Chain A
């Protein structure tokens, strides 16, 4: 589904180029649950941003379902971004001014989903993540684990094919982290492609493939269980 060829990303400083990613070759198939690991600064987040179409400043080619992203029109790319990707962040990044319900609703609004459909989708998600009672609360009133559940609900609300998660459990303690990973596993079983970046080796065990990044290069690439 995803094909990266000779992908470089660098920043020009005054005297030299600093490569954040160098010579990345990567193919990701639909239905994989892939974990990116590596020390800080290895390029995990950079790679996730490029995969998620949030960063278009790179060299090399990125094709999605056989189409070169670069060759697409802005509108096409934007539609792809909306329909195929969901994002989960380490710091949850919920909108503080919106309730749980409204946070989950936001991506649907931008997808022009009708009001009644929105209601049923959100009801289903709230039910699934056991947050019905909390739907009118604001993010500040929730625990970190609960906020991240809302973040996941929001990410999957638009039924994306690919879920991108950058250190989704980085701010959580182990029990909450376990809960989140179990949710990922379940989504994966339902057919969602998941790409996560993490520091924690135990999180990788929920997935099907593990890639180690060091200094912007792929150091190892292995299938798990």
Chain B
């Protein structure tokens, strides 16, 4: 019986190519998106679950409070881990990770010259006890237990030595010092929040040999014993803090608190915490899950609509089968089988589609989408369940309609599926509601993204490049600067702690010169070329001069050293822009005087308001060299800068980054959302339009005779299109109203996440609605034109 059903389904699909094509394509697109999103969500959800006992592994986050302001950080002091291991019996093991890339890049030499590497960390000898990655070479207990040992990942070993076996036992020069390669590990999987190329023994580092309670630069991970209670563990931490830091905390007026965070919650957790790899805002996962469901619903609705509409064409078959003794449930089974065959085909095509798309999509999603989670037993069961569910969802309503027809009616030509019309109309409204809504949301999101690119940042991010500048080079800085400017490929050059894109260092400022009132500010260290190079605007007072630089180095404590404030600082300190100049403050532990005020600039992402900032001279804190290149073709200037750099700094490669790109980088996740939204709303509209095409075809077919009569009576083509379009326009109008309401609500809540929001304008709404309307008119026009051109003598003959 089932064999028979499937055979008939296949033949039916073959016969009705347009109908089957629309349904198959629609379902395939919808299911491909659904599966791709599903795999993406699965990947994000699976972060850090691959370690043995991953539910017992916690990262210790730290809250540091001073002067009423507290800061949550994901790093902690180097003394924390040894103390926990020694004093807490419930701790099974633990490890410490020092991600060097937050400070600087590293020069690596395997005997073939220096290359700059970023994914470098110091970890202690228990790293592999906590994170049990596979070792391809080396003894688990022995690696990383002595100073100057290093473990490479498989890819890195291949890159430098050709193979894991080749690498083991070799010497690698790191910043000129010899490290012995004691092991090679598997590559960090894409769903681990840890991501390094080099793991060096923490014993090499000063704090590895002498743990201290300051600074707090280290990620600490503990693995609790089985059955240990995390709440009990956390409750014991304050006593430990008191024991080691109590006296200091009282003396200097700060306080510490530690909060264990499950390792599995790092990736999707608090995004403002520093992490080794950028996390994913869980909000976006929810949004994508909803979009995935919407797409499948749109695809399913296509099927339901077309299949019910098509029922009129199949009434003869249904009638005959009933006459021959088919029971209702048997017919029902047949039609459900048909929808399942189609769904299964669509799922099959989707799997192929994802396989083919995984490569091109890697850049967009940030990892290679793998079908592996689906190719396991639970995966197959899931697919089967999905086919049955979607097949039923799509098939149940048309099957009920078809199998419920009375045989005499069905055999005659008197079938009117009038009762189902409102269901179909309702479904069309839902489809267009979803697709117009998605389109509006896409346009609104795009608006905000463009706004963030174009907003006046207060500095000039174009033609500005940044080179990582190692502190070793600081003595040579002046010479390098002069030489590079001389070649004519640099307009101005400055040393700075960071790019102006994100400055994070926190300082305290005491405006009265005493310890009365404290304001937390962001401190931006640089040299006297910084304002000019970054394009910051001075609104009162003066910029730093070369004399300031010299005097600074001689530590002129009497007059204090000069600083620049931004507008927010001035306001928070209670001054005006004009009278701020010349004021004395206590800043960073010394006396300082305000030399000038700069216009506010965005030194943080636009999710935040511009906070108070102090710019001060301190070349010792330099991490980057900012270079403003002249207008014109940047590649020529970069080439000549590179040449000059090679002669000046032969041991460090000329690795630069455009500041505007670094700026755009901050909005990667928003940009991704924007692109994906665009793709998915395009798909949604496409699928919905295909459905509309099918439905209009069906209506046109059913009204062929009516149109024939109208034509005989003198109706023009426009009249005929009008007759067919009128019904659909009412539906589209209703859908548009719903879409406006819901997308308005969505964008209001999404924009809440930005301190700087674009104004919500009317045009995205109009554009979306008009676009969908236009495409619908074209669809309807095309279809009705075909009917219109039929010869009335033919269309009127039937019946």
Residues on A close to B: CB < 8 A?
49, 52, 54-55, 78, 81-82, 87, 89, 93, 95-98, 102, 105-107, 109-111, 154, 158
Task: Output the nearest chain B residue to A46 by Cβ-Cβ distance.
Answer: B408
Chain B 45-56 against A: per-residue CB contact (8 Å), 1 yes, 0 no?
000000000000
Q: Are A107 and B408 closer than 8 Å at their CB atoms?
A: no
CA distance A95 to B324 in the complex (A): 11
Q: Are A110 and B407 closer than 8 Å at their CB atoms?
A: no
CB distance from A25 to the nearest CB of B (A): 23
**For residues 389 through 418 of chain B, which have their beta carbon under 8 Å from a beta carbon of chain A?**
407-408, 411
Q: Are B4 and A110 closer than 8 Å at their CB atoms?
A: no
CB distance from B472 to the nearest CB of A (A): 81
Residues on B close to A: CB < 8 A?
1, 4, 7-8, 11-12, 15, 316-317, 320-321, 323-327, 330, 407-408, 411
Residues of A within 8 A of B8 (CB): 97-98
Residues of A within 8 A of B326 (CB): 110
Given contacts A107-B325, A110-B330, contact A49 B408 (CB under 8 A): yes
Residues of B within 8 A of A98 (CB): 8, 11
Task: Output the nearest chain A residue to B4 by Cβ-Cβ distance.
Answer: A109
Q: Are B407 and A54 closer than 8 Å at their CB atoms?
A: yes
CB distance from B633 to the nearest CB of A (A): 67
Residues of B within 8 A of A55 (CB): 408
CB distance from A134 to the nearest CB of B (A): 18
The total of Cβ contacts below 8 Å across the A-B interface reads 46
CA distance A109 to B334 in the complex (A): 12
Choose one: B15, B324, B327; the contact of A97 (CB below 8 Å).
Answer: B15
Q: Are B1 and A95 closer than 8 Å at their CB atoms?
A: no
Given contacts A54-B323, A82-B325, A111-B325, contact A97 B330 (CB under 8 A): no
Choose one: A49, A54, A78, A87; the contact of B327 (CB below 8 Å).
Answer: A78
Given contacts A82-B325, A106-B324, A110-B326, contact A93 B1 (CB under 8 A): no
Q: Are A110 and B325 closer than 8 Å at their CB atoms?
A: yes
Closest 10 interchain pairs by CB?
A82-B325, A110-B325, A107-B324, A97-B11, A110-B326, A87-B323, A93-B320, A54-B408, A54-B407, A55-B408
CA distance A119 to B325 in the complex (A): 19
Interface of B is mostly: helix
Between B4, B321, B325, B330, the greatest number of chain A beta carbons within 10 A of the residue's beta carbon is seen for B325
Residues of B within 8 A of A102 (CB): 4, 7
CA distance A110 to B329 in the complex (A): 11
Q: Are B408 and A110 closer than 8 Å at their CB atoms?
A: no
CA distance A35 to B321 in the complex (A): 26
- 25 A-B residue pairs with CB within 8 Å: A49-B408, A54-B323, A54-B407, A55-B408, A78-B325, A87-B323, A89-B411, A93-B316, A93-B320, A93-B411, A95-B317, A95-B320, A96-B317, A97-B12, A97-B15, A97-B317, A98-B8, A102-B4, A105-B4, A107-B324, A107-B325, A109-B4, A110-B324, A111-B325, A154-B324
CA distance A54 to B12 in the complex (A): 26
CB distance from B403 to the nearest CB of A (A): 13
CA distance A96 to B641 in the complex (A): 77
CA distance A154 to B323 in the complex (A): 12
Q: Are B411 and A158 closer than 8 Å at their CB atoms?
A: no
Task: Output the nearest chain A residue to B8 by Cβ-Cβ distance.
Answer: A97
CB distance from A174 to the nearest CB of B (A): 26
Task: Output the nearest chain B residue to A55 by Cβ-Cβ distance.
Answer: B408
CA distance A110 to B334 in the complex (A): 12
CB distance from B700 to the nearest CB of A (A): 22
Task: Output the nearest chain B residue to A87 by Cβ-Cβ distance.
Answer: B323
CB distance from B737 to the nearest CB of A (A): 39
Residues of B within 8 A of A87 (CB): 323-324
Task: Output the nearest chain B residue to A112 by Cβ-Cβ distance.
Answer: B1
Residues of A within 8 A of B407 (CB): 54
Q: Are B408 and A109 closer than 8 Å at their CB atoms?
A: no
CA distance A95 to B330 in the complex (A): 16
Task: Output the nearest chain B residue to A157 by Cβ-Cβ distance.
Answer: B324
Residues of B within 8 A of A49 (CB): 408
CB distance from A166 to the nearest CB of B (A): 10
Residues of B within 8 A of A111 (CB): 325
CA distance A56 to B477 in the complex (A): 102
Residues of A within 8 A of B408 (CB): 49, 54-55
Residues of B within 8 A of A96 (CB): 15, 317
CB distance from B410 to the nearest CB of A (A): 10
CA distance A82 to B325 in the complex (A): 5
Task: Output the nearest chain A residue to B9 by Cβ-Cβ distance.
Answer: A97
Residues of A within 8 A of B15 (CB): 96-97
Given contacts A93-B411, A97-B12, contact A110 B320 (CB under 8 A): no
CA distance A110 to B1 in the complex (A): 9
Residues of B within 8 A of A54 (CB): 323, 407-408
Other contacts beyond A96-B317, A110-B321, A110-B325: 5, CB < 8 A: A52-B323, A54-B407, A95-B321, A97-B11, A107-B324
CB distance from A106 to the nearest CB of B (A): 6
CB distance from A129 to the nearest CB of B (A): 18
CA distance A91 to B7 in the complex (A): 25
Residues of B within 8 A of A52 (CB): 323
Residues of B within 8 A of A89 (CB): 411
CA distance A5 to B1 in the complex (A): 40
Residues of A within 8 A of B411 (CB): 89, 93
Task: Output the nearest chain A residue to B319 by Cβ-Cβ distance.
Answer: A93
CA distance A54 to B407 in the complex (A): 7
Residues of A within 8 A of B7 (CB): 102
CB distance from B342 to the nearest CB of A (A): 15
CB distance from A19 to the nearest CB of B (A): 18
Task: Output the nearest chain A residue to B322 by Cβ-Cβ distance.
Answer: A54
Q: Are B327 and A106 closer than 8 Å at their CB atoms?
A: no
